[in-house]
Amino acid sequence: MKILVIEDDVNISFALERFFAAQGNEVTTCLNLEDAFRIHPEGQDFIILDLNLPDGDGFEYLSSIRSLGMKTPLLLLTVRDQEKDMVRGLTLGADDYLTKPFSLPVLKARMEAILRRASLGDNEQALRCGRLVLHKSTNMALVGDRPLELSSKEYDLLELFMENQGLTLPRERILDRIWGWERGDVYDNTLSVSIKRLREKLEPYQDYIRTVRGIGYRMAEGDE
């Protein structure tokens, strides 16, 4: 796997390069944005991006590649632990974030979770989370052998969560994805009410959908 590390702390970038290279990965490190922009993102399998860089902001890089339609899996690695920074990163298209200090095994596990979801592909017809199964071909969801009676918005919410298991989805991204052009007529508490109703229908597995305080929601992976 080709991994691009954009990190200005030489100790951290060296540790990441050594850790992933020892597992057979090809690791490229950049200490600034200028060097990072010289490397084509789609030639990489994964990107680890720091936010605080000497010649700019990591958000600039993230926004740039996502605006061009590049979908390379990307994880933010940062000392910034404020909710607004996490929400901004996820809204701009980061797949996940991890705050410093961090554990290398945890970072690896986060990356593997992102890559597992990416490997499902757009043509995957059945999504699974523990006892919950969603069949995209028939727009049907089941808990065990019990079909769920969902409204169209509840189904869309469940599908979005199941396609992004383990990832924290900001409220803004969910509202934009589910309500789209109707967004102007949708109040913020509409999402809270919809999530509440969906959870009730998932009983006894309502805890699969978890609230991430101040940011949004996250669906657990499998029987996590």
CATH of the domain at 149: 1.10.10.10
User: What residues make up the domain containing 187?
Assistant: 126-219
- Would you report the helix, strand and coil content of the chain in percent, each value rounded to 5? 45, 25, 30
**8 A C-beta contact, residue 176 and residue 160:** no
| 3-state class (DSSP) for residue 44 | coil
Q: Is residue 224 assigned to a domain? A: no
Same domain, yes or no, for 112 and 7? yes
| Cβ burial, residue 20 (10 Å; 0-12/13-18/19+) | buried
Flag whether pLDDT at 122 surpasses 50.
no
Per-residue confidence band for 120, with pLDDT thresholds at 50, 70 and 90: low
CATH of the domain at 88: 3.40.50.2300
Q: Is residue 158 assigned to a domain? A: yes
* Residue pLDDT, tens place only, 152-177: 899 999 999 998 998 999 998 898 88
Q: Taking every pair of C-alpha atoms in the chain, what is the biggest distance, in angstroms?
A: 55
Q: Is residue 196 assigned to a domain? A: yes
Flag whether pLDDT at 123 surpasses 80.
no
Same domain, yes or no, for 11 and 103? yes
Flag whether pLDDT at 136 surpasses 90.
no
Amino acid 184: pLDDT: 57
Q: Is residue 34 assigned to a domain? A: yes
Our count of domains for the chain comes to: 2
Q: What is the pTM of this model?
A: 0.64
Same domain, yes or no, for 65 and 172? no
* Residue pLDDT, tens place only, 60-110: 999 999 988 888 999 999 887 677 888 889 889 999 999 888 999 999 999
Residue appearing with tokens 């994880």:
75
| Boundary (domain end) residue, out of 120, 138, 171 | 120
Q: Is residue 183 assigned to a domain? A: yes
Residue appearing with tokens 């974030």:
97
Distance CA 118, CA 115 (A): 5
b or e along 144-161 (b: 16 or more beta carbons within 10 Å of the residue's beta carbon)?
Answer: eeeebebeebbbbbbbbb
Residue appearing with tokens 């690695």:
77
* Residue pLDDT, tens place only, 23-66: 999 999 999 999 999 998 888 999 999 999 999 999 999 999 99
Phi (first) and psi of residue 85, to 5 degrees: -70, -40
